[in-house]
Each structure stands twice: as structure tokens, then as C-alpha cells.
Chains A and B, each alone.
Chain A
Amino acid sequence: MAGNRLPEFDRGKAVSLRCEGEPVRAFAGENIAVALYARGAGVLSRSLKYHRPRSFFCLEGHCGACLMRIGGVPNLRACMEPCAEGLSVEGQNAYPSPDMDVLGAVDWLFPDGMNHHTLMTGSRLLNQVVSKVVRQLSGLGTLPGSPEPATACESPAWDELEVDVLVVGGGPAGLAAAEASAAAGARTVVCDEHDRPGGSLLADPRHGPRDAAGRADAARRAGARALLRTTFIGHYPEDGGVLLLAGPDRLTRVRARQVVYATGGYAQTLLFANNDRPGVMAARAVGRLLVRYGVAPAGRVCLVIGRDADRDQTDALAAALVAAGSEVVTVDERREQILAARGRVWVSALEVAGADGQVRRVPCNMVAVAAPPSPASEGPRQHGCEVDLRPSEGGFAVVADRDGRTSVAGILACGDVCGATTAERAAAAGTRAGRAAAAGAGAR
């Protein structure tokens, strides 16, 4: 359940965190989830209702499984917060600690789950008492103990931005779209929520940081401006339509003639018992640990290849893990049924059943789950773009033509947000969408 930091990997300067009062060695170029995993941390927090142990699943800010109290602020994503000297980190929703939470008994007491619609509703008095108890036990984190420091209460900065083309998402599709759009003469801005552009390239051993940096440089050289650690948080149709971007210390209100959504997809899980056990992670998260952060899982990784997973991608991940010193066993959902993850607070085995019904147990220290990413189609949906439920591609994909044009004028989409694809195809779609957006914005 620990990770090995690979040698000769640039992680920035060494710092020391304080996790539950204990010092933890970390690096400024790592986020808190990575540093705690490298140390061998088991559980980061407990879940809201059953107090099940939780650790990161997606490692890219989307799944909500790694919320911790960081620097005294509750409910921050450990995978999105950079490490800094002396930063205090604590688990949430657990007593006395995330590893050993007495409230975890709730999970055992209700093996079939707890239906709040019918729980203790026989007597009004009993129901009132139970409601009070449940309210005390559940919930997410606790409020900060002291008022925020005065500096944080000052009115934050607020920017206005007017561009020809806004590209949301800096993965293979978004970087190619930004490059093509800027090269065609459009004033282009590309935003990405992470501290470094690249998106899924940074989780794929066939690409990695150098490839991602090369593509980002190409977009910059063409004249596109990149806003990093800047997340698209919504489209507001008022006043002719504005898009809101949230940066680390400011909001930016953008007016764009054309918007290209290259938001990719969210890592998905597969359905088996205890699929939320810490150590069960998205294959893409394991790829990101290795490729972006230079941390290899110690021990044995059970790579679960989902029915609809991209097999070239899982082959590449397995090979890269082996090259980094991890042991890898694969389980193919097309041949075996995944029954359950085992392990008290961290996964220790995966139970699978073959076609003959024979159950076997695969001992492991990590389960990497590969499934197609679910299209991140919220933005296009807010504009009213047509989407299509494609179960084999993880969710609601945006319907777009070859040039990325959606059902709404001025709104384009490319890459995984239009349905799971490869980095090469995403980049090609991005180039076409970038050109179409520049043309639509009236660029020369």
C-alpha cells in the first residue's frame, strides 16, 4: 500500500507535511494525495453515510473521494492541493482516526444499506430521536475552528476577458484546438484546471510530460494564451452569455465568440462489491501516479480490464508498471466476473469468478480499474447542446460533426467529451475544431 518514488524524477524541493500530527516527507511538485500514498498512507477519510474507508480514486480532481481538512480548511481535494512546508493535513468524518473509525460500525450494522425513507418511521418520537443522531453522525467535515485569516477575507480579484475562441480543457484535443485556432489568427485562450497542461497525456505512459509540454509549447508559439489551475465552472446565458473560470485566487468572466469544449472524461469505476475500498483506483490514476508524479506502486497491482476499456492503453500501462518495478496481474472482465475487493481498510485481494463459476482470489496491494471515461459534458449541456447516452462509452457524449460543431451555434466539442477516443484522434479532432472555431469567430 505504499509507493516507490522513482529515481531521477523532478519533484521540486523537499518539504514536510504534518498529517494527523505526524511529519510526512513530501515534495513541492507533488499533491497531498500522492505524498500520502508514497508514504504508505492507508485511508484519507471516511464516507458520509456508512463511514466506509476512502482514499483517492481518480487523482485528477473529479471523484470526490479524497476530501480532507487541509491547512484547517475542510473538504479540500487532496489530489488538487500542492504540498507546502508545514502544511497540516487531517482526515474527515472519522473518530478517532480515518484508519480506525468506530463509526465504521454503521457499515456492518446495515449490510443491506440504510433506507432513510423508511428508517425508524414507525413511531414519531423514535423517528425524531433517530433523525437527531443521524444528523450528528453524518455530514462532510466540520467548519474551520477559527475565523479565516484577514488576508483571505479581502475581496478577491475579478478579471474580465474578451476573446475570439475559448478552449476549455488542455488535454490532447484542447491543446491541438488552441494551436489551430491561434494559428488561424483568432485571439485564443485555453484553460485547464491542473497545474500543468496535458490532461490524459500525463496519465498515459505512451505520451507523458515531455509530449504534453511539447504540445503546450506549440499552442503557445502559435499565439494561444494558457490559463493553468483555472477551472471552467459554468456558462451563464445572461448578458449575451458569459463563461466563468475559477483560478486559485480569482474569478475570470469570459466573453467568447466561439467556445471549444475539450473537457475530456471522468474516470469511471466498475460494479463489484467494495469497489470503493482504498487501493481500488482508476487505471488512469495509476498511470498518472507513474507518469506525472514518478511514483510506482509497491507490490502487486491487479489491473482490471473492463468490458469496454481501451486495450492498447491497458497494455501500455501494464508494461510501464512492470518496467518501473511493480508486479502486474491482469483480470479481463470479458472472461471473468469481478465479484469483490477484499481488505479491511486497504485492498488486499480481488475475488473473481471464471466462466465455470469457480471463484479465485487474486492477492494484490492495488486494483487498477480500466473503463472508458465518462464524457465531461456539463458545459455543452448548459448551452443546450444535444448529448447522447452511450453506455459503452461511459455516459452522455456530446453530439458533434467532424469539425466539432455541436447542435448549438458557436459551441464546439472535441476529444473524449464526444465519446471515448485515443489521444491521436482527439488531437486530430481538436485541430479541426480549432480551425472551425477560428473561422466561426471571423478570424482572417
Chain B
Amino acid sequence: MSAGERRRGKVIVCRCEDVTLKDVRHSIALGYADIEEVKRYTGFGTGPCQGKECHGLIASILASEGGRDPASIEPFTARSPISPTPLRLLAGSPDAASDVADDEDG
């Protein structure tokens, strides 16, 4: 990182977890250049937005700077809930009641 870059400030790639471009480059340099590895090392995509803003961006950085063919880069698993959901909504599920019953049986 040049003095000029340092003076200018952090380049944020994942806003939720404050992951910087430098963090992603560091991860690639350590050999963690797969999207799942970068996710585990830097924590990107694990915040409130679950990668909506950073997933495509970081995959593109891996293609341009990690020397990877875009076709070889797989996205990470999209887990539910895809959008922030209050737990109380899930608590009303008929499954929630039966899950408790199952646990008690077990």
C-alpha cells in the first residue's frame, strides 16, 4: 500500500462487516482465493445484507486480481431468510409447534 493510498483512506468492499479491499487482497495473497475461503477469512457477506452488495463485487475482484477465470468462480450458498425477517413471524409457523413436539419426543 503506497503512502498516497494510505492517506486517502479505506476502500470498503463489504459495508456490513467493514471489510476493505486491502483485506481481500491480503486474503488472496495468503492463498485464500476461493469465494468461500475469502468469506471465511474476511467475514464479508456475513452481515445484515448477507452479501447483496458485496458478493458480486468480491467475485469480480477474484476474477480480475486473483487470476481466476470468471466461469470457474461459484457463488456462495444463498441461505434463508434471504431478507431480514423478524423471528416472531417464524414463531407462528405450524412447523415451529411440531418441531418443539418432535424435540420433546426425542
Which residues of chain A have a CB within 8 Å of any CB of chain B? 47-50, 52, 54, 57-58, 61-65, 67, 75, 77, 107, 111-113, 115, 117, 140, 148, 152-153, 155-158, 193, 231-236, 244, 246, 249-251, 266-269, 271-276, 339-340, 351, 374-379, 381-382, 387-391, 394-396
Contact = CB atoms under 8 A, between A and B. Distances in A.
Interface of B: 1, 5-6, 8-13, 15-18, 20-23, 26, 41, 47-49, 52-53, 55-57, 59-60, 63-64, 70-71, 73, 75, 77-85, 88-94
A246 B92 CA distance: 12
Contacts, number: 178
Nearest to B90: A251
Contacts of B91: 155-156
A196 to B, nearest CB: 17
B57 A395 contact: yes
A236 B77 CA distance: 14
A77 B84 contact: yes
B22 A112 contact: yes
Contact of B83 (A48, A235, A246): A246
Contact of A64 (B49, B56, B82, B90): B49
A158 B92 contact: yes
A389 B10 contact: no
A374 B48 contact: no
A275 B11 contact: yes
B69 to A, nearest CB: 9
A47 B43 CA distance: 14
A359 B23 CA distance: 26
A16 to B, nearest CB: 26
A391 B64 contact: yes
Contacts of A112: 1, 6, 22
A65 B16 CA distance: 7
A273 B5 contact: yes
- What 10 A-B pairs have minimum CB-CB distances, sorted nearest first? A395-B56, A234-B80, A64-B49, A378-B78, A374-B56, A391-B60, A49-B18, A273-B8, A64-B48, A233-B81
A381 B75 contact: yes
Given A251-B89, A268-B57, A376-B52, A47 B15 contact: yes
A64 B71 CA distance: 29
A433 B18 CA distance: 39
Contacts of B70: 388-391
Nearest to A234: B80
Contacts of B78: 377-379, 381-382
A386 to B, nearest CB: 11
B48 to A, nearest CB: 4
A157 B90 CA distance: 10
B81 A389 contact: no
Contact of B85 (A64, A140, A233, A236): A233
Contacts of A157: 92
Contacts of B64: 391
A250 B86 CA distance: 10
Nearest to B81: A233
Contact of A153 (B21, B71, B77, B88): B88
B5 A396 contact: no
Nearest to A397: B56
Contacts of A140: 47-48
A394 B56 contact: yes
Contacts of B5: 273
Contacts of A374: 52-53, 55-57
Contact of A158 (B6, B57, B80, B94): B94
20 contacts: A48-B16, A52-B18, A57-B53, A64-B16, A113-B10, A115-B26, A156-B91, A157-B92, A231-B85, A232-B82, A233-B81, A236-B80, A267-B53, A269-B12, A381-B78, A382-B78, A388-B70, A388-B71, A391-B64, A395-B55
Contacts of B82: 231-234, 378-379
A235 B79 CA distance: 9
B53 A54 contact: no
Contacts of A250: 89, 92
A58 B53 contact: yes
B63 A391 contact: yes
B85 A246 contact: yes
Nearest to A232: B82
A63 B23 contact: no
Contact of B21 (A58, A64, A244, A271): A271
Nearest to B6: A111
